[in-house]
Chains A and B, each alone.
Chain A
Amino acid sequence: MAYDKFTVLRSTAVPMPIENVDTDQIIPARFLKATERKGFGDNLFRDWRYNNDDSPKQDFVLNNPIYSGKILVAGKNFGSGSSREHAAWAIYDYGFRCVVSSFFADIFKGNSLNIGILPVTVSPEFLEKIFTAIEADPKTELEVNLPEQKITILASGENESFAINGYKKHNMINGFDDIDYLQAMKAEIKTFADASMY
């Protein structure tokens, strides 16, 4: 699935300073029954976001109107658990384009990159600075610059570099995906398969 190009994103952010946010919280299993990739944003963080009678839980950050933006800032080990790409779809469908944390689960990180969400890994210290800045002023803007691999808290100018695989960076900036790449390799793959033991 081709996705939007990602270069520089400047936005306010939604803070979620909880560790080990697993994919069952991001999108519970009972919402995985679709056969098309749409509408998952409505159920993003379903059980943290809504009461049993579908009324919003007032103390959950997505229901707090002072926080908004295209960047989700989360605690350590975000996206652990299931391989369900639906978790990344839900985040994307809700409107986030970037998730910032000090640590991501592997499969979630891969899924995000594959659908056009940029996972930005920062140091635990810089993550704290972001949380502190947003707490002091919910209108705090962050700038995520993919070409320069730098994330900045605009009000203070504090910034940090982040790592990204060069191939993935190229894909995100250009809106390419892996299938485009693999399609061009079919002959090489068939030769490899012919020589394979299984």
Chain B
Amino acid sequence: MSKSASTLFDKVWDSHVVRKIEDGPDVFFIDRHFIHEVTSPVAFLGLEQRGLKVIFPERTFATADHNTPTINQDKPVKDPLSANQLAALERNSAKYGISHWGLGNPKNGIVHVVGPENGITLPGMTIVCGDSHTSTHGAFGAIAFGIGTSEVEMVLTSQCIMQPKPKKMRINVNGKLQKGVLPKDVVLYIIAKLTAAGATGYFVEYAGDVFRNMSMEGRMTVCNMSIEMGARGGMVAPDETTFEYIKGKDKAPKGEAWDKALAYWKTLKTDEGATFDLEYNFDAADIEPMITYGTNPGMGIGISKHIPTAAEVGGGKSTYEKSLGYMGFHEDDAMIGKKVDYVFIGSCTNGRIEDFRAFASIIKGRKKADNVTAWIVPGSHIVEQQIKDEGILDILTEAGFQLRQPGCSACLAMNDDKIPAGKYAVSTSNRNFEGRQGPGARTLLASPLVAAAAAVTGVVTDPRELLQEA
């Protein structure tokens, strides 16, 4: 290995260390700070109690998403607690001069959707937010991760956090993906292989043909789920796909600034000979459409498979039985054919235009299953507009579906979009934890294609059987 060979992660990390503390964390500089209504109010309160100011308001962006209703967004928010948090975000943003995209603003949407689509997220940046799915922005070759509210306060007042440098992992997936296999399946497959804690303590670089050939939306889906295997974050080296996506976006650099940025971005890749603390290799051909059967995202299988037995998964037998008990499933059950009550497409994982295109590809010419309630929620107003402009809304409407307004919605059920206790939901979101989509709700994580197949058949269905020839 040449002495100067370094990884993409090293390059971005090391260029953001303001000070190294001996036997301590790095003082780590943050380029962009996203805030939302749930994890920021206590941070602002802390700031006030200490009599501190926001150091660089222009580096912080606020959007309302976790609590927001997905219908009647033009009317006052009914839940007084949600309304109070939304008002606090607006008030704090105004007070400190922070850009705020509240309900009704045409730029509003889920924080991890609106950052990239407006050109706020750029390669080589460090990005944090009080939300674990901040890892999404790693798709651009940024170091992006979720932080706690104490750290939100730190960033507001100092633009830094105190962070030990994580270890490095590279995950290579090479080969050609099967028909009907989406980026969501790729990442669910990786998490199933590594387990929900398999990447804890690491920052992941996704490398290989599969990610090189993936769209930016797909890379965002993959990086988004990095946290579900415990990783601090995940990233993909920027390339022409990245640059093409960014070019012309509202807040992206223009003119000379673009040329300068592009020259820098092209240096953002792992050098030949650079080493990782841990490396995994997977073959794309082994991946089929995935679905989860348990209560963490690591409990996933190929859709045609049976639920493994406790003996097969090894360790933590009581935890495993508790999980299957919650889901109402049994060892060795087939997943195909299981009844579905709800379908949710949306969230920062799969709420982008490409996800709705995939969903519509199966819905087109079919009807919604009578037993299914479907919540179709764009990640932002921009995505909502794309859905209308591309004729996807017509396809959905003809099939008996309704489009809702943007927000986090049933992903974490902080608004009214809650799956009722005991009901089964095929969800394109990121977590199948107990009660995640509402108390007692049972979540099966899947891709937009699997969600679409369930929405039209009313049971878990292999989407490959329904794919239509283009």
Contacts and interface: CB of A to CB of B under 8 A. Distances in A.
B19 A85 contact: no
A63 B161 CA distance: 38
Contact of A197 (B146, B164, B264, B413): B264
B433 A81 contact: yes
**Interface magnitude class on chain B:** 35 or more
Interface stretch (B38-46, B239-247, B456-464): B38-46
A126 B45 CA distance: 40
B232 interface: yes
A198 B148 CA distance: 24
Interface in A1-45: 1, 17-20, 22, 24-25, 28-30, 32-37
Interface stretch (A65-73, A139-147, A154-162, A175-183): A175-183
Contacts, number: 208
Given A83-B131, A106-B230, 19 more contacts: A20-B316, A33-B82, A33-B414, A35-B84, A36-B42, A52-B439, A75-B316, A76-B197, A81-B433, A83-B148, A105-B200, A111-B150, A167-B24, A179-B50, A183-B52, A186-B55, A189-B159, A193-B56, A196-B29
B32 interface: yes
A188 B42 contact: no
Interface stretch (B122-130, B172-180, B330-338, B395-403): B122-130
Interface string B135-160: 00000000001111111011001111
A150 interface: no
A189 B84 contact: no
Nearest to A113: B150
B197 A77 contact: yes
Given A18-B319, A167-B23, A183-B158, A114 B18 contact: no
Interface string B3-46: 00000000000000011011111010101100000110110011
A29 B264 CA distance: 40
A165 B29 contact: no
A185 B45 contact: no
A29 B347 CA distance: 15
A75 B319 contact: yes
16 contacts: A19-B319, A20-B295, A25-B434, A29-B412, A32-B38, A32-B39, A32-B414, A37-B42, A85-B149, A88-B148, A107-B145, A110-B151, A166-B24, A168-B24, A168-B25, A178-B151
Contact of A114 (B150, B159, B431): B150
Contact of B39 (A85, A182, A188, A198): A85
Contacts of B421: 52
Nearest to B126: A198
